[in-house]
Amino acid sequence: MSEQILLELKGISKSFPGVRALDDISFQIKKGHIHALVGENGAGKSTLIKILDGIYRPDAGAMVYMGRQLSPRSPLDAQKQGISVVHQEIKLVDTLSVAENIFLGRPKTKHYLIDWRSIYKDAQDLLNSLDANLSAYAIVKELSIAQKQIVEICKAMSFNLELLIMDEPSATLTTKEQEVLFRTMRTLKAKGVTIIYISHRLEEIFNLADEVTVLRDGRLVGTSDVKNINRKQLISMMVGRDLENEYPKEKVEIGETLLEVKNLCRGRMVKNISFQLHSGEILGVAGLVGSGRTETARAIFGADKREKGSVIINGKELKGQSVAESIKNKIALVPEDRRRQGLILNMSVKENISLVGIDLVIKSKKINKALEKKMAHGFISKLRIQTPDEEREVKNLSGGNQQKVVLSKWLAVDSDVVIFDEPTRGIDVGAKAEIYRLLCSLAKEGKGIIMISSELPELLGMADRIIVMHDGKISGEVSGKDATQESILELAISR
């Protein structure tokens, strides 16, 4: 059986000052296949996409695309040749309609006037061809993320789409939305479109992809048929070593009640939430995006006002409704969006670590440089934060290391209860395992952990107990041992 090759990379290399981002990458992409591209953060996936998209030019090597030389000069040039990228961050104009977005910058005209009728008709045709239940007149602002991605795909299809590159499209989708996206991808495949698919979620790769190519540190590790490889092999290809146990859960004695939440209410997203958290316990919180998990965490933490109900920590009720009060009573929140909510990106590692516990490094009204440095050094070595030194701005660190900086900030004030909202989002496999180990060691120290996550395998692997939220309420509780993905989903989806 001879399968047609759509794209062949031959010895692609690209360097940036101080980094060899891609080193002699060669592999083939077969026409009409879904080809997964995986690797840890910093493996070179983004650089490779940017080369295909015409943003970067390779230093060496060649690309053969449909039998001819490919060297796109810009994203538009790439699109004209049938190559489109759907980025993780959606690039649509929120205030315009679906159709206007699809033909943005390329209006169809008739007698020098914009031919709206044909724009809306063509847009609707494209949407229908993907079986998307979506109107061309809808305003993009009102769409879900998955629907927005479909609009992006339609935009790509409005050029003669041959090769669609999707950069972690599922990272922020709910389970239901993911299904919509995956169905769309299969429809595209049936139409003969080739897809390069980037994801950190391994299950998806096994469900969707035909082949998988693994990059590590800018080098090609290998390309394989998905049929001929299992999960464990794929992980070891990505990490470069065998990951003994993805979830290093340890047995910890569960102690007395640390935190008690009673009848907590706030708006539509937090309704009558009650639960207890014990020392040494990892309490998982499952639920779809939008089920009120984050809002509950913020209300417990005092970041948003509680309308009703009480939060009791170490036997003391929090009355002040402020972040400062929660911090004083040793509650910590590691928020879901590191860059927007967790870190001051312009500040150094040191300054971020000391932000919450600044009083600990103040001596006679002055920030004591030596004390602050010592605090930073302590956490850099304890949590193995990879940074050249404590003065490096956190924005230059990788996602996993940034997450460790956020965590250090809270460990500095010796928090008893740590709420993690999506602790491993956008973090690569190796760093994930480290974060898991940290959760375990915190539990061993007798702290209470609340772990909000959309990744069910991680909840099942780590949590002692899982509460499931739906529509602002707790819809059920399962023990970590007996739970299955199905039983959790059942509770998470409306019945």
Partner 1 sequence: MGEKAQEQVQKGNFFKPIAAWFGNYPIALAVIGLSIIMSIMSSSFLSFNNIMNVLRQISMIAILAAGQFLVMVAGGIDISLGAVVGITGIVFSMGMVNLGMPPIVAGILAILVGAICGLFNGVQDAFLGIPPMIATLGTQSVARGLTYVLTNAYPISGLPESISFLGRGYLFSIPWPVLIMVVIFLIVGFVSQKTKFGRFVYASGGNSEAAYLSGIKVKKIKVLTYVIAGLLASLSSIILVSRLASGQPNAGLGWEFEAVTAVVIGGVSLAGGKGKIFGVLMGAILVGLLTNGMTLLNVNSYYQQMVKGLVLVFAVGLDVYQTRKRNKA
- As measured in angstroms, the least distance from the Cβ of 344 to partner 1 is 4
Tokens 């897809």, located at residue: 195
Contact 40, 428 (CB under 8 A): yes
Q: Binding pattern to partner 1, positions 334-353, x when CB under 8 A?
A: -x----xxxxxxxx---x--
Candidate residues 38, 333, 385, 462; the one interacting with partner 1 per rule CB under 8 A: 333
What distance in Å separates the CA atoms of residue 199 and residue 178, rounded to the nearest whole number?
12
Angle ∠(325,327,329) on CA atoms, nearest 5: 70
Q: Binding pattern to partner 1, positions 365-404, x when CB under 8 A?
A: xxx-------------------------------------
What distance in Å separates the CA atoms of residue 415 and residue 314, rounded to the nearest whole number?
12
Nearer to partner 1 by C-beta: 356 or 492?
A: 356
Amino acid at 378: G
Q: Using alpha carbons, list the distances in angstroms from residue 300 to 21, 34, 423.
A: 43, 43, 18
Nearer to partner 1 by C-beta: 242 or 389?
A: 389
- As measured in angstroms, the least distance from the Cβ of 15 to partner 1 is 14
The reply on whether position 263 binds partner 1 by CB under 8 A is no
What distance in Å separates the CA atoms of residue 190 and residue 205, rounded to the nearest whole number?
18
Measured between alpha carbons, how far apart are the two ends of the chain, in Å?
Answer: 47
Q: Binding pattern to partner 1, positions 269-298, x when CB under 8 A?
A: ------------------------------
Candidate residues 359, 381, 482, 486; the one interacting with partner 1 per rule CB under 8 A: 359
- As measured in angstroms, the least distance from the Cβ of 422 to partner 1 is 14
Stretch that binds partner 1, among 62-70, 83-91, 128-136, 325-333 (CB under 8 A): 325-333
H/E stretch holding 48? helix 45-52
> Binding to partner 1 (CB under 8 A): which residues in 107-126?
none
What distance in Å separates the CA atoms of residue 389 and residue 452, rounded to the nearest whole number?
31
Angle ∠(12,18,19) on CA atoms, nearest 5: 35
Nearer to partner 1 by C-beta: 289 or 362?
A: 362
What distance in Å separates the CA atoms of residue 453 and residue 439, rounded to the nearest whole number?
13
Q: Binding pattern to partner 1, positions 2-31, x when CB under 8 A?
A: --------------x---------------
Stretch that binds partner 1, among 58-66, 277-285, 357-365, 455-463 (CB under 8 A): 357-365
Candidate residues 62, 139, 239, 362; the one interacting with partner 1 per rule CB under 8 A: 362
Nearer to partner 1 by C-beta: 127 or 419?
A: 419
Nearer to partner 1 by C-beta: 168 or 351?
A: 351
* CB burial of residue 223 (10 Å; 0-12, 13-18, 19+): middle
H/E stretch holding 213? strand 211-216
Structure-block tokens of residue 425: 């989002």
> Binding to partner 1 (CB under 8 A): which residues in 398-427?
409
The reply on whether position 303 binds partner 1 by CB under 8 A is yes
- As measured in angstroms, the least distance from the Cβ of 270 to partner 1 is 17
Nearer to partner 1 by C-beta: 217 or 393?
A: 393
- As measured in angstroms, the least distance from the Cβ of 393 to partner 1 is 10
Contact 236, 243 (CB under 8 A): yes
Look at residues 379, 359, 357 and name the one whose alpha carbon lies nearest to residue 438.
379
SS3 state of residue 231: helix
Structure-block tokens of residue 272: 């009558």
The reply on whether position 254 binds partner 1 by CB under 8 A is no
- As measured in angstroms, the least distance from the Cβ of 291 to partner 1 is 21
Q: Using alpha carbons, list the distances in angstroms from residue 360 to 325, 374, 411.
A: 17, 11, 12
Interface residues with partner 1 (CB under 8 A) are 16, 301, 303, 323-324, 326-327, 333, 335, 340-347, 351, 355-356, 358-359, 362, 365-367, 409
